[in-house]
Structure formats: C-alpha cells, structure tokens
A and B are shown apart, each in its own frame.
Chain A
C-alpha cells in the first residue's frame, strides 16, 4: 500500500514567523510530487509540481525542495502572514498511475496576527 505522510498535522505560528512542513512518500516508481494549498470552502490551489530529484521551486515567500532518493519534500514559508492560513497538502504521483495522486492528510497552518 502506497502511503504519503505529512508532518506536523497542525501548526500555529505568529505573523512573521518562518515555518516548514515535511512530506514523506515512497521512493520507488516516483513520477511527481505535488503541493496544494487549500483554504476552507475553496478549491485546492496548485502550488508546485516537482519531478526531478533536487528540484527547488519558489513562488513568492513559499518554496519547496524535493529528494526522490530518500522520499521526502519540504515546503517552506518565509515570514508567514495571516492569509497563509490554510491546509497544505502534498500528493505523490507514481509511474503507472496515469497521473492520479496519493494524498497525505495535510498540514493545517494557522497564522496569528
């Protein structure tokens, strides 16, 4: 059974703090690792798609790294703002899946002003 683990389950930080989350996934048959940001009552928003070992992606204050050999990815948020409050999901795509994804349970981030 393919399993994706995310930690921590939830995180409470103050505005201005930097934070990071971890996603662990199977290291075999890797195709892609996706990060989504999901605010309550909205659609999950795609942040990054990462396919190569050593990939680093950045969008504004958010960045992500990928290690496919050991099966983990980190998501970093620099200088958290209240609008960053959301659940951050990672999803693993493997060869043979036609791109369908195995999701972790997510990390719920709350940023206090």
Chain B
C-alpha cells in the first residue's frame, strides 16, 4: 500500500509569492495534518482536517490556509511568502482523530 505522498519534493520561491503544497493520505485515512519543521526544531503543528472540516489550527498567521478535498487529499497554501517560511512541510494522515499519524517525506520550501 502506498504511504502518504507529498508534492512537490522541493520548491524555490521568492518573497511575496504564493505557494501550494499537496498531500495524499494513506487510502482509507480521513484525517490530514500539516506540520512545519525549521532547522534545529521539531515539527510544529499548522492545521488538521478531518472529513473536509478544519479541526485544529496551530499558531500560524492567516497567510497560511488549507483545505481538504472529497477524496481526503489536502492542500496547504501560503500567501505573501517570507524568508522565515523556508522550512520542511510535513503532511501526516490518520484514520481518525487521536489515532496514530503516518508522515509523508515532506516538501522542502526555500524562500529567497
């Protein structure tokens, strides 16, 4: 079975641009969470979606948004990119709230 997949693998943007990151969960999983990991830190929670509804939001500015589609895949959008948004963005899926989360390989975003 395929694990969690994310695209693209790497991305380079300039300040002020917009970016969309994509995630496909494990088949049968209805919950998707997004995390940001900057160098030297642990992953930090951004959003969780379950059954297409937002169930949780971390301490991130409104420039960050996400959505979940009927097939349970998800997009993370970041507007007006800042240098500080450079990070690895991880997506995790689980069958439901509070269950074990399985992670994708991440998207490495570099903002110049």
Known: A43-B105, A46-B102. A103 touches B55 (CB 8 A): no
Known: A34-B100, A89-B42. A99 touches B94 (CB 8 A): yes
A32 contacts across to B, CB distance below 8 A: 98
- Assess whether B97 is in contact with A105, with CB atoms less than 8 Å apart: no
B33 contacts across to A, CB distance below 8 A: 100
Closest A residue, CB atoms, query B45: A100
Residues 28 to 46 of chain B near chain A (Cβ within 8 Å): 31, 33, 35, 40-45
Q: A78-96 CB contact bits vs B (8 Å, 1 = yes)?
A: 0000000000010101000
CB distance from B71 to the nearest CB of A (A): 21
Known: A41-B105, A43-B103. A98 touches B40 (CB 8 A): no
How many A residues are at the interface, by size bracket? 20 to 34
How many B residues are at the interface, by size bracket? 20 to 34
Interface residue from B35, B55, B90 paired with A98 (Cβ < 8 Å): B55
Closest B residue, CB atoms, query A103: B42
Q: B30-69 CB contact bits vs A (8 Å, 1 = yes)?
A: 0101010000111111001010000110100000000000
A30 contacts across to B, CB distance below 8 A: none
- Assess whether B104 is in contact with A43, with CB atoms less than 8 Å apart: yes
Does A26 make an interface contact (CB < 8 A)? no
CB distance from B60 to the nearest CB of A (A): 13
Interface residue from A41, A44, A98 paired with B98 (Cβ < 8 Å): A98
Report the Cα distance A4→B44, complex, angstroms. 11
A91 contacts across to B, CB distance below 8 A: 42-43
B residues adjacent to A (C-beta < 8 A): 3-4, 31, 33, 35, 40-45, 48, 50, 55-56, 58, 90, 94, 97-106
